[in-house]
Amino acid sequence: MVPAQSGLIVQLIGRTEFTAPQDVPFETDAVGGQALAEFAGRSIYSSWERAVPATASNSGFLLHLLQVGHLSVLEHSSATFYLRGLSRSVTHEFLRHRHFSYSELSPRAEPQDVVEPAAIGADPVLHQRFQTAVAQARTAYEDLLDGLQQAGTSRPDGSLARKQARQAARAVLPLAQSTAIVVTGNYRAWRHFIGMRATEAADVELRMLAVALLAELQREAPHVFADFRISTLADGTSTAASPYVGDG
């Protein structure tokens, strides 16, 4: 589990397991998703003998796949994360990446704390304006919720009415509301996400999330993600890039 920034928690909760078939002469120095990716790549030509020294190891073989852009074998292996302390603004952007599976905290749940953008928090005047706006939105939410719940007291489906009241009242809450989400993706999808969202041009909160995910993935599958290099900008935030990441 990685507390990547104030309030943000990135936790790896699921990973690929691999068991080599007993009737295939396949051995490797890796386990899990990295071993499966190698097996899938070697199975294409039944190249079990490891005749080329540069690609004899798992790291060498996977590096070669990255260099030549043969990334389809990375789709067999996946990682699942439980992410907390990020804003709904960021998850709205995250959900645009269609090759992931998502399970997000319901909008009918009780409102959470807010995630204040770093650019606002760094300025005392803007910070106070933000806090005032958040407090006003929360007051409006509670007023609307109270009215909607009173209107729903006469309905026979009381439990459903209460849930619907919370969902309707949430319309006035800011996108800065904190949320939690479970995300599953294959290695290729994670590489693409990081390549797109860990750049300097990306939204700062989303970029910090991408870099934090990369740090976890480099521990989980270093041969697949070690080509990414993390660097620090003048403002203290981080970016990440790889020479092997393109549109594919």
What domains sit in the chain, N to C, each tagged with a CATH number? 2-81+180-241 (3.30.1360.170), 117-175 (no CATH)
In angstroms, rounded to a whole number, what is the distance separating the alpha carbons of residues 75 and 185? 9
β-pairing, 8-15 with 78-87? antiparallel
In one letter, which amino acid is 40? A
Helix (H) or strand (E) holding 160: helix 158-169
Nearest to 221 by CA among 45, 17, 53: 17
Q: Looking at residues 5-23, what average pLDDT do you find?
A: 92
pLDDT tens for each residue of 194-236:
999 999 999 999 999 999 999 999 999 999 999 999 999 999 9
Which pair of structure tokens corresponds to residue 77?
Answer: 């292996």
Strands (E), the chain: 2-5, 8-15, 78-87, 100-104, 178-186, 229-232, 238-241
The one catalytic residue among 170, 191, 197, 207:
197
Which pair of structure tokens corresponds to residue 169?
Answer: 């009242």
pLDDT at site 6: 61
Which pair of structure tokens corresponds to residue 241?
Answer: 């890039």
Is 197 catalytic? The answer is yes
In angstroms, rounded to a whole number, what is the distance separating the alpha carbons of residues 102 and 189? 13
Contact 36, 77 (CB under 8 A): yes
Tell the residue number behind the tokens 């970029």, with chain if given.
Answer: 207
Q: pTM (2 decimals)?
A: 0.92
Q: Looking at residues 153-170, what average pLDDT do you find?
A: 78
In one letter, which amino acid is 205? E
pLDDT tens for each residue of 85-94:
999 999 999 9
In angstroms, rounded to a whole number, what is the distance separating the alpha carbons of residues 193 and 96? 10
pLDDT tens for each residue of 34-87:
999 999 999 999 999 999 999 999 999 999 999 999 999 999 999 999 999 999
